[in-house]
Each structure stands twice: as C-alpha cells, then as structure tokens.
Structure 1
C-alpha cells in the first residue's frame, strides 16, 4: 500500500477544514494555511532535529539565520 503524497495530505486537511466551516466563508485562507503549515513544519523539524538549528536549517534548505527569524515569528525560539 502506497503512502499518500504530501499534496494529498494537505488537500485532505484543507477540505476537512472547509467542511467544518459549514456555510461560513473562510477569511484570509491562503495566508492562514501557509502560516499554519510553516509553523507545523518548523515545530516538527526542530523536534526531529532535537533542537539543533544547523541540522534543521539544512533539512529545510534554508539559512540558519532565516530559521531563527522564522522560529521567533512563531514564538518557537525556546
């Protein structure tokens, strides 16, 4: 049995979120999805990298200083 792609996982979660809203219109959905996805990504990668920013930055393909700024933005810079 093959695993679902990341695209399929994201699509499924967005569909579920929209279903949960019922008839309520989503506000700033693009911005919110990107921010929530980035926050979850940072949390997960930092946990898997055991807090090592150099390792996490390499996994993410970003500069360590950029990672630090993103962690600060989301209040994850413990």
Structure 2
C-alpha cells in the first residue's frame, strides 16, 4: 500500500476530504491516474501528443458543469467555489459552450 491510498472511516469528513475521497472510495488523483493508465494501455501503438491539453479539456468542462449545478448556476458563487475570477469563469463557460 502506498501513501497516496486513502481509507474510509466513521469520522466526519471535511470539505477538503470530500474532494480528495469521493463516495466510491477512490481519490480523485487515483481516478485520474487509473484513467490515464487505461488511456495509454489502449493506444495500441498509435502516437500521441498534446495529452496535457486533452486532459484539461476533458476535466475542465465537466468540472464547470458540476460546480454550476452545485451553485444553481450562480456564476459569482461558482467562481468563488472554483477560486476563479468571475470573468475567467465566463470565458471558460463560453469556451466549452456552457453559456
């Protein structure tokens, strides 16, 4: 077992722990790691580039959608939750066709 693995306990969960350990018991980091390993295993010899941009686009759009839903589409609150400037949030929402 490595130090990145997490355990589910009966102790109250802080908001930071909720992000680090989703209800399924696997950390967000672990989920990303598993998805990336799966991606590379299934390339079947194909060359790949721009993985960083691809991953950001795949993660950012659903992140914005979920946070907007959580904040009932209050963009000011969503920007606060995300730690972004409201203008930056609006730019990203337009980029992904979410406005």
Report TM bin, short chain: 0.7 to 0.9
What's the C-alpha RMSD, in Å, of the aligned pairs?
1.5
Gaps of 5+ in 1: none
What's the CA shift string for 1:20-70, capped at 9, x where partnerless? Answer: 222212221111111221112111111222211111111101111110011
Of 63-72 and 9-18, deviating more is: 9-18
Q: 1:46 aligns with which of 54, 61, 68?
A: 68
Matched, 1:35 2:57: yes
When Rg is computed on C-alpha atoms for both structures, the one with the higher figure is 2
Contact 1:57 1:63 in 2 (8 A): yes
Unpaired runs of at least 5, structure 2: 1-6, 9-24
1:68 paired residue number: 90
Bigger drift between 32-41 and 59-68 goes to: 32-41
- The TM-score with structure 2 as length reference comes to 0.68
**2: CA distance, partners of 1:19 / 1:26:** 12
Which protein is richer in helix relative to its size? Answer: 1
* Number of aligned residues: 77
